Amino acid sequence: MKHCVYNTGPDWIEFLKSRGIRRDVNFWRLDRRILRLDVGAHFYFKERGSPWIVGRGQFVENVNLTVTQAWRRFGYGNGCGSEEQFKDKVGGGRVNCIVLTNLEWLTDPVQITKAFFPAQVEGAKYYSDDEIESVATGFASDRPQDLPHLDVGRGYSWMELGAAFSFNPDLFRIGGGMLSRPEFGALLLITHPGGARSIDYDDKWEGDDTLIYTGRGKRGNQQLKGPNRDVAENQKRLLVFEQAGSRQLRYCGEAHCQESWRARAVGTDDQQRTVFKFRLRFRDTPSRGTSSSSGSTNLLRQPRSFDPDSPPNPRAPRGTKPSTPDETAALQEKATQDHFQALSALHASLIDHRWQNVEEIPSAIDLRATSPDGAHRVIFEVKTISASNELHQCRAALSQLLEYRFFHGEPADELCLVVNGPIADHRRVFLESLGVGVAQIHTDGAIQAIGLFAGRWPLPFGSPSSP
């Protein structure tokens, strides 16, 4: 088998080495030449400007990508800390990507002679197994154990995984969602899209091959150390499992962290804190279930029928406490008398005019209903209006409606702001330009859709004088 030694930039070497990135690495070039290597051949890194071999990887493939495609696929594996830095180095156009895996770094670099690698060689030089042997022997032989074979999509019991990875299965119960197995060079990540019993980390799937995964730590600010750092910098192989029943996990596949960032979230102590989010991308299509059934259901986030005879409490019932400031604010607003009266008037009008599936989500949507002909499903946000709060209330309603459709609805859901008094007409025009209709509740309880949306929805909404 042929192998090669390649002049390599010191910055690229240091970036990957310091972050422990070993797989899905892009040794990028701006020329179009194809590397003549077989899959699995070794690619040795000779530090440019020095006589030292400092590491190596194994060749996977040669692929030509745009800069954006290369960043989305390899992330930090490009040897840069951000997409902007990568673009600055590469420029526009396309990138010739030499894809490498299983990177190794020498504690004691191997010195080579000019006869072995002539000074005039700017890129790569090829070697046979015998020719490269003197360099290959410099690499440590104490590599991690081979991983046990895992079938993507198969469910495994805690006991099976404990036996395969040589640990007590009860570690799954006390070890949290990240279990390090250093003897295998691996980190077992357990995800619960839909929420676990003790906390909803808000893990979620994006597209077919990407999981947004939250770092370790249930309360207080999460720290970029230990397993969190291992994930962010791909220090270990990332094996992802999804809860699949009592003491059962489904193997989703092996992932690579493309990027990490800080976000705000609520901990088990109900306090806002900083958490780390990781974008994990799977080389092969992962096996994923539906939302986890092991999590506890938060009734405040579930649709239910609206009860006009039961004004809501500004505090969440026992066992259903809101987990975000947004949910707390929604509960408090719904508990005000004027808001509840306006909401009750809207509910009565919808029922009288045979709208279907009229429901609320206690910590979010005021009302959601489907028109009598089934052609429209509309999310309604009710706001009480005064001369002093019109601007604030309209802006708040706009952001709430967009959030509610994104988090609790469907893209086809229509949006409507319902107010208990008139608003400035230029504000109505602005809302309509963003796809938000406006309806007014009159003093006699009649509901009137105004502007462009007046003829769009079938009549539950007419003028106050409609029969």
| pLDDT, one tens digit for every residue, the chain (467 residues) | 899 999 999 999 999 988 878 888 999 998 888 888 999 999 999 999 999 999 999 999 999 999 999 999 999 999 998 889 999 988 877 899 999 998 988 888 889 999 999 988 888 899 998 899 888 877 754 456 788 999 999 999 999 998 898 888 888 887 778 998 887 889 999 998 766 666 778 898 888 889 999 999 888 999 998 899 999 988 889 999 998 888 899 999 999 998 999 999 888 888 889 999 999 999 777 777 654 434 444 555 678 888 887 776 655 554 555 456 666 665 566 557 788 888 888 999 889 888 999 999 877 899 999 988 888 899 999 998 888 889 999 999 999 999 999 988 999 999 999 998 899 999 999 999 999 999 998 877 788 888 877 776 654 554 444 43
Residue 292: inside a domain, yes or no? no
Residue 251: inside a domain, yes or no? yes
pLDDT at 463: 43
Q: Are strands 237-243 and 210-214 parallel, antiparallel or unpaired?
A: unpaired
pLDDT at 122: 84
pLDDT at 64: 92
Residue 467: inside a domain, yes or no? no
Q: Give the CATH number for residue 448.
A: 3.40.1350.10
pLDDT at 457: 65
**Cβ-based neighbours of 74, under 8 Å, separated by 6 or more:** 24, 25, 26, 97, 258
Q: Based on the domain organization, do 249 and 391 belong to the same domain?
A: no
Please tell me the distance from the alpha carbon of residue 2 to that of residue 254, in angstroms, as a whole number: 29
What is the SS3 assignment for 312? Answer: coil
- Could you give phi then psi for residue 138, rounded to 5 degrees? -75, -10
Residue 466: inside a domain, yes or no? no
Q: Give the CATH number for residue 59.
A: 2.30.130.30
pLDDT at 295: 42
Q: Based on the domain organization, do 132 and 178 belong to the same domain?
A: no
Q: Based on the domain organization, do 11 and 114 belong to the same domain?
A: yes
Of 282, 310, 338, which residue is a domain's last?
Answer: 282
Q: Based on the domain organization, do 34 and 176 belong to the same domain?
A: no
Q: Based on the domain organization, do 119 and 177 belong to the same domain?
A: no
Q: Based on the domain organization, do 278 and 305 belong to the same domain?
A: no
pLDDT at 293: 39
Please tell me the distance from the alpha carbon of residue 251 to that of residue 286, in angstroms, as a whole number: 8
Instruction: For CA atoms 69, 73, 77, 82, give the dihedral sign.
Output: positive
pLDDT at 464: 42
What is the residue-wise DSSP string for 365-433?
A: -SEEEE-TTSS-EEEEEEE---TTTHHHHHHHHHHHHHHHHHHHS-TT-EEEEEESS---HHHHHHHHH
User: H or E stretch including 327?
Assistant: helix 325-334
Residue 460: inside a domain, yes or no? no
Q: Based on the domain organization, do 195 and 248 belong to the same domain?
A: yes
pLDDT at 290: 54
Residue 366: inside a domain, yes or no? yes
CB atoms within 10 A of CB 288: 18
Burial per residue of 130-143, b for 16 or more beta-carbon CB atoms within 10 angstroms, e otherwise: eebeebeeebeeee
Please tell me the distance from the alpha carbon of residue 212 to that of residue 191, in angstroms, as a whole number: 10
**Cβ-based neighbours of 9, under 8 Å, separated by 6 or more:** 48, 79
Residue 142: inside a domain, yes or no? no
Please tell me the distance from the alpha carbon of residue 50 to that of residue 227, in angstroms, as a whole number: 35
Q: Which domain holds residue 403?
A: 299-455
Q: Give the CATH number for residue 249.
A: 2.30.280.10
Q: What is this structure's pTM?
A: 0.55
Please answer whether residues 356 and 372 qualify as being in contact, where contact means their C-beta atoms are separated by less than 8 angstroms. Answer: yes
Q: Up-side HSE of residue 87: CA atoms within 13 Å toward CB?
A: 9
Q: Based on the domain organization, do 447 and 309 belong to the same domain?
A: yes
Number of domains in the chain: 3
pLDDT at 462: 45
Distances in Å between the alpha carbon of 198 and those of 201, 211, 275, 342? 10, 21, 16, 37
Q: Based on the domain organization, do 20 and 102 belong to the same domain?
A: yes
Q: Based on the domain organization, do 215 and 312 belong to the same domain?
A: no
Please tell me the distance from the alpha carbon of residue 421 to that of residue 380, in angstroms, as a whole number: 16
What is the residue-wise DSSP string for 429-450?
A: HHHHHTTEEEEEE-TTS-EEEE
Q: Based on the domain organization, do 132 and 239 belong to the same domain?
A: no
Q: Based on the domain organization, do 313 and 272 belong to the same domain?
A: no
pLDDT at 52: 93
Residue 122: inside a domain, yes or no? yes
The residue among 296, 294, 299 whose CA lies nearest residue 322 is: 299
Q: Which residue has the tokens 């180095």?
A: 89
